[in-house]
Chains A and B, each alone.
Chain A
Amino acid sequence: MITLLKYEIYRRWRWLVLRYAALIIIGAILLNRVSSPTYQYEFIGESIGKFALTSLIIFIIIIVEGINMLKEDLFEESGYLTFTIPKKGRTILASKLALLLLQLILWTVITIGFGSIFFSKLPYPEIIQIKTQINFYFFPTVLFILTAFFNFVLMIHFSLTLTKTLLVNKRYSGILSIGIFFFLVYLIEKLYYGPFLNQIKHISIEIGSRSNIDLLSGGYTAVFLNIILTAIFFTATAYLLEKKINI
Chain B
Amino acid sequence: MEQILKSSQLSKYFYQKKALDKVDINIEEGKIYGILGPNGGGKSTFLKIAAGLLKPSQGEITIDNKKPGVYTKSIVSYLPETNYLYKWMKIKDTLNFFNDLYADFDVERARESLKFMELEEEEKVTSLSKGMMGRLKLTLALSRKSKVYLLDEPLNGIDPISREKIITSILDSYSERTSILICSHLIYYIEKLLDYVFFLSEGRIILSGDAEELRNKRGMSIDKLFQEVF
Contacts and interface: CB of A to CB of B under 8 A. Distances in A.
Contacts of B87: 78
B interface: dominant SS: loop
B73 interface: yes
A84 B82 contact: no
Interface in A73-110: 77-81, 83-88
Contacts of A4: 101
Interface string B111-126: 0000000000000000
B54 A247 contact: yes
Which of B15, B84, B85 has its CB near the most chain A CB atoms (within 10 A)? Answer: B84
Contact of B53 (A3, A12, A87, A247): A247
B97 interface: yes
Contacts of B55: 243-246
Interface string B60-90: 0000000001110110101010111111110
Nearest to B86: A78
A86 B73 contact: yes
B38 interface: no
B101 A85 contact: yes
Interface residues of B, number: 28
Contacts of A6: 100
A7 interface: yes
Interface residues on A, range: 20 to 34
B78 A84 contact: yes
A81 B85 contact: yes
Nearest to B73: A86
A106 to B, nearest CB: 21
Contact of A77 (B14, B71, B84): B84
Contact of A80 (B15, B73, B74, B80): B80
Contacts of A79: 53, 84
B53 A80 contact: yes
B51 interface: yes
A28 interface: no
B97 A7 contact: yes
Interface string A226-247: 0000000000000000111111
A170 interface: no
A210 interface: no
B70 A88 contact: yes
Contacts of B53: 79-80, 83-84, 246-247
A81 B73 contact: no
Given A85-B73, A88-B70, A168-B14, A11 B100 contact: no
Interface in A38-92: 77-81, 83-88
Nearest to B104: A86
Nearest to B74: A86
A245 B54 CA distance: 7
Interface in A104-128: none
A137 to B, nearest CB: 41
Nearest to A3: B100
Contacts of A86: 70-71, 73-74, 101-102
A142 B60 CA distance: 49
B86 A85 contact: no
A108 to B, nearest CB: 27
A65 to B, nearest CB: 13
Nearest to A81: B84
A246 B54 CA distance: 4
Interface in A1-58: 3-4, 6-7, 11-12
Nearest to A77: B82
B51 A84 contact: yes
Contacts of B85: 78, 81
11 contacts: A3-B101, A7-B100, A11-B89, A12-B88, A77-B82, A78-B87, A81-B86, A84-B78, A243-B55, A246-B54, A247-B54
Interface of A: 3-4, 6-7, 11-12, 77-81, 83-88, 168, 242-247
Interface of B: 14-15, 48, 51-55, 69-71, 73-74, 76, 78, 80, 82-89, 97, 100-102
